[in-house]
Structure 1
Amino acid sequence: MTNALRTLSAKAAADLDRELMSSGAFSLDQLMELAGLSVSQAVYRVHPPSSKPKVLIACGPGNNGGDGLVAARHLYHYKYQPSIYYPKQPKNELYERLVVQLKDLGIPFVTDFHAALKDAHQVVDAIFGFSFTGEVREPFPSVISALAATSLPVLSVDAPSSWDIESGPPSSGPGKDFHPTALISLTAPKPLVKHFKGRHFVGGRFLTKKMADKYGIDVPEYEGVDQVKELGQGWLRAWMRGADEEGN
């Protein structure tokens, strides 16, 4: 593995997902389960349930939100006390089944994010992922503003919600000052990581070498049964040096 893991653009990430679900023979359910498992392990690494058991998980209407729903199930079994904010629930069998699984465990779904935030110990931001573009629409502007203002630790899934995958935080709007405590990059880091200063994990321990080579992904050296690998600031400095050299 190189000293600096290469990043994956939004287009390449979308192409990789499509290939994984075609020639790679993965189903969307499998990929979401693997992603959510990685998210849950990152939460555990940052703050185990003995220190911050109440986890508020903010889920968007797409696959990023689905990853958050899967993570919530695993966190429950790790002895956390998860609660779910899921204001835009799509009419989709996959997401509906994930909701049923959580309700069967007695995991609460909250409608008032701001009230729930006051009772939480930490937050998972699973609102928008690598496919996000355009304007943040209701009810999420106030949620992202609350995430930016909170003193609670926040772990973002694949991207801090409202950030551009290539250029990072927006110059204006609710995400302008949103800098989460931790980030888990799924499969590979995205170019926005050059703007991120917190704890950084990568998850996605399922790629074949052939697929990783095709998309220029450096698979980290996962340890034991871990589904996540923490990347230190030394990784970011090395990557930025490499990016500068490629640009010259």
Structure 2
Amino acid sequence: MMRYLSARLAQQIDEELMSSAGAFSLDQLMELAGLACAQAVAAVYRKDVYPRVLICCGPGNQGGDGLVAARHLGMFGYQPTIYMPKPGSKVIYQRLQKQCENMKIPVLPPSNDVDDLRKALHDSDVILDAIFGFSFKPPIRFPFDTVLPLLNQSRLPIVSVDIPSGWDVEKGNDLGVGLQPNVLISLTAPKQGVKDYTGRHFLGGRFVPKSLEERFELHLPHYPDSAQIVELDSESSMHKY
């Protein structure tokens, strides 16, 4: 019976992972999370059919995961493009962006105009949504109140990271303004707001120590072999609390 997390509990586990209980740095967690996201894209959307991936990044840690995923997708042989309407200001974010630029991954210039986004959507095969994380609280503010409808209207397949952008971490898409992803890659453990999600659902972030898993009664599934993701089947999806 896998546990679905509230916002408070998700934040607490993140803090524990970066304390002596986990002893991870933020860089390490982002690297592992972003690798898992890239693997999820590759597991569902083959590069010979869906080579062009538009990675939409917010200014927080979720966006950092997206930048890591962009770098790995480039290494996997995809053609990633990064869209950041509001780039993050932290040093770690800027370093991750520089790593992508060093790989010659195109980055759309920040702008309040969505013309570049419209063109990028026309030239893309799949979207990786790394805009908002589990700390998001409605309402959606500018410029993302314009961005999210465009992503939904594009009719491109969407892969969302951890929680679909625009969804409340506990109440889901009650307001009806969030993205409608085809694939969701939950990190660490799924969040309460996605308990009724019906698309393909993966779990990623193969970094939770057994001690924390047992302490918080997460009941995480086993990851196969060396994979950084595991697909959640209908049986595991039925056990949510």
Category of TM-score, reference length = shorter chain: over 0.9
Q: Which amino acid aligns with 1:68?
A: G
Equivalences, count: 234
Measured against aligned partners, the alpha-carbon deviations of 1:85-110 in whole angstroms (never above 9, x if no partner) come to: 01212221101111111111110011
RMSD: 1.3
Whether the aligned pair in 2 keeps the contact of 1:184 and 1:200 (CA below 8 Å) is yes
State the partner residue of 1:50. 48
Secondary structure, aligned partner of 1:195: coil
Quick check: 1:100 aligned with 2:98?
Answer: yes
Query: CA separation in 1, counterparts of 2:101 and 2:174?
Result: 35
TM-aligned CA deviation for residue 56 of structure 1? 0.1
| 1:187 CA displacement | 0.5
Partner of 1:10: 7
**TM-score scaled by length of structure 1:** 0.91
Work out the CA distance in 2 between the residues paired with 1:149 and 1:168.
20
1:149 CA displacement:
1.9
5+ long unaligned stretches in structure 1: 244-248
State the Cα distance separating 1:116 from its structure 2 match.
0.5
Q: Deviations over 1:4-28 (max 9, x none)?
A: 3111111111111111111121100
**Fraction of identical pairs, as percent:** 50
Aligned counterpart, 2:189: 188
Q: Of 146, 158, 178, which aligns to 2:162? A: 158
Mapping 1:166-185, distance limit 5 Å: 166-172=170-176, 174-175=177-178, 178-185=179-186
Distance 1:141 1:10 in 2: 22
2:11 aligned counterpart, secondary structure: helix
Mapped to 2, the partners of 1:231 and 1:20 lie a distance apart of 23
Secondary structure in structure 1 of the residue aligned to 2:149: helix
1:110 aligns with 2:108: yes
Unaligned runs of 5+ in 2: 110-115
> How much does 1:191 deviate?
0.8
Deviating 4+ runs (over 4 angstroms): none
Aligned partner of 1:239: which letter? H
Contact 2:59 2:89 in 1 (8 A): no
Structure 2: how far apart are the matches of 1:45 and 1:195? 22
Which amino acid in structure 1 is aligned with residue 195 of structure 2?
K
Aligned pairs for 1:57-68 (under 5 A) are 57-68=55-66
Which range is displaced more, 69-78 or 44-53? 44-53
